[in-house]
Structure 1
Amino acid sequence: MSKGKAIAVAAIKGGVGKTTTIVNIAHILANDHNKKVLVIDANFSSPNLNLHLGAIENDKSIHHLLNNNEKLHNVICEHSFGFHFIPTDITKLNSNQHKLKNIVNELKNHYDVILLDSAPSPKDEMLAAIDAADELYVVSTPDLPTLTSTLKTAKLARQNNTKVSGLILNKVKNKNYELKPESMEKLTGIKLVATIKDSVRVLESLNSIRPVSLLNPNSDVSLEYKKLAALMVNASYENPKWHIRALGYLKDDFKNLTTHKFSKGLSYFK
């Protein structure tokens, strides 16, 4: 097995959808691309991955690797979504974070892709995740406060000589008060690789503890995640046929099905 690669997904601002993005990408890579995927919660001070996976209680966590030299196989958890993960224990805040890179390098011998969910703050724990990664994707929302945070994230990565592979623009509502995607790309100097629409279905998926790519794999949001996942592993991607996308769109918009303008809606997918 050839050595895998480690990808950090980062943002210096909470609530932009970083962990949601990671869980969907992991699910797609494992199930659509048959990749062996490991997700590491590198957000040591305010972990969220456990909540997204419905795995609240775990006997072992990343802290046991960082502090106690625990065996890898005792810490790695298997999830029904098709990938493995290493959780973080919020009750154990002190960790030897600088060991993370060595642990990730060892794990790359066993996985195709390792996804690192970093902390939303420019402190040692974020730097540890960036340092352990081969490349970085930055998640942002299209507003000025988050733009400032995005610039800081990219600067930290470049100072660490970590490749910044792309900007993921999330929760896009296409409103006049938002920064335009092309403006975000120009201002950050990071290639825009995905534009994820704001969707109530994502909130519903969080409530049901299932990724939206599982709940509605042909929705606009899921298809954008699928394109992004393919890009991350240099795989080809082709959109499904227009009628399949139409069904995904209608499933997303089911509450308005009775008043839906089919002539307008269907032409959108052609």
Structure 2
Amino acid sequence: MVTTYTIASGKGGTGKTTLTVNLGTIIASYGKETYIMDADMGMANMAILLGLENVPVTLHEVLAGKAPVSEAVYDGPSGVKVVPSGISLKGFQDADPEHLRDVMSEIVNHCDFLIIDAPAGISRDGVIPLAIADEVILVVNPELSSMVDALKTKILTELIGGHVMGAILNRATLENTEVSVHKIEEVLGVKVIGLVPEDPNVRRAAAYKTPIVIKYPDSPASREISKIAAKIAGKEYPEIKPEVSGDKFIDRLAKSIVKGRKK
């Protein structure tokens, strides 16, 4: 049975595309037929992260009726299948997001998991991925504005009949964290299913156009993303003893969360 997840956020720059790529890569490594789709057609970045920016056919052409879905599917790391959107504005203008349902209907016949990178904010293009997914996962940064925008996205998702599974706190730091995990859960009314720390290796991996879980598998962010992916796929995550520096960071981060929950 296919399960479809939409990764969404109330504002841009939260890291949802990076999470989509890395979650899909890990789930595919379990032997699950996994597709990741860039439905952020106006501000597409998935192709750039994976070195697919020059491919001949993208989701833009499919939604414009110029090519079948099969021609826009590319092989990614660990066997994940990638359906990128193009980076040209002309392709975006020609694409009709109303055909996204038809594209999904065809893709789900070939996979176990479909993970959709949704457009940030509230727009006509962004409503469809929220409505057609089995589960929506919100990506929140440790700042109040991100949480407020995520709440708007949650409310919209529920208004159109969608369901929010939970939230991922991304780019978590010990300094200047305005909101705790407890506060996020209280305001959004959903569980925080994962906490991904700020990690410079995310940018380093992006420069190599390789998912961080492949390029730097033992980094703090990779380990936390892998835990979330295992949870989504229903797998047991093999705990690996972290390096000393990472261990100290995670220990301190865990203590700060516990304190936040007690407040």
Query: TM-score of the superposition, structure 2-length normalised?
Result: 0.88
Match of 1:15 in 2: 13
Query: Which residue does the alignment assign to 2:201?
Result: 201
Aligned-residue sequence identity (percent) comes to 24
Q: What residue is the counterpart of 2:258 in the other structure?
A: none
| Alpha-carbon distance between aligned partners in 2 of 1:177 and 1:73, rounded to the nearest angstrom | 44
Aligned to 1:186: 186
**Partners of 1:148 and 1:72 in 2: CA distance:** 36
Match of 2:255 in 1: none
Q: How does 1:90-105 map to 2 (within 5 A)?
A: 90-91=88-89, 92-94=91-93, 95-105=95-105
The aligned amino acid for 2:84 is P
Match of 2:63 among 59, 62, 66: 66
Residue 221 of structure 1 aligns to a residue whose secondary structure is helix
**Which amino acid is 1:47 matched to?**
A
Shift of 1:177: 4.3
Aligned residues: 249
Structure 1 window deviating more from structure 2 (109-118 vs 207-216): it is 207-216
One-letter amino acid matched to 1:22: T
Greater Cα offset, 140-149 or 175-184? 175-184
Q: Is 59-68 or 12-21 further displaced after alignment? A: 59-68
CA distance in structure 2 between the partners assigned to 1:182 and 1:174 by the alignment: 15
Structure 1 segments (4+ residues) deviating >4 Å = none
The answer to whether the 8 A contact 2:60-2:85 is kept is yes
Q: Distance in 2 between matches of 1:105 and 1:236?
A: 30
Provide structure 1 residue ranges, at least 5 long, that are not aligned to the other structure: 254-263
Query: Unpaired runs of 5+ in structure 2?
Result: 253-263
Q: Which has the larger radius of gyration?
A: 1
The answer for the alignment partner of 1:259 in structure 2 is: none
Offset of residue 69 of structure 1: 6.0
Report which stretch shifted further, 56-65 or 175-184.
175-184
Find out whether 1:75 has 2:52 as its counterpart. Answer: no
2:104 pairs with 1:88: no
Change (3 A) 1:88 1:29: same
CA shift for structure 1 position 110: 0.4
Change (3 A) 1:219 1:234: same
CA distance in 2, matches of 1:20, 1:81: 16
> Cα deviation per residue 1:41-87 (whole Å; 9 max; x = unaligned)?
10011101011111111211112222216322212111244211111
Aligned counterparts, 1:1-270, within 5 A: 3-31=1-29, 33-68=30-65, 70-89=67-86, 90-91=88-89, 92-94=91-93, 95-240=95-240, 242=241, 245-246=242-243
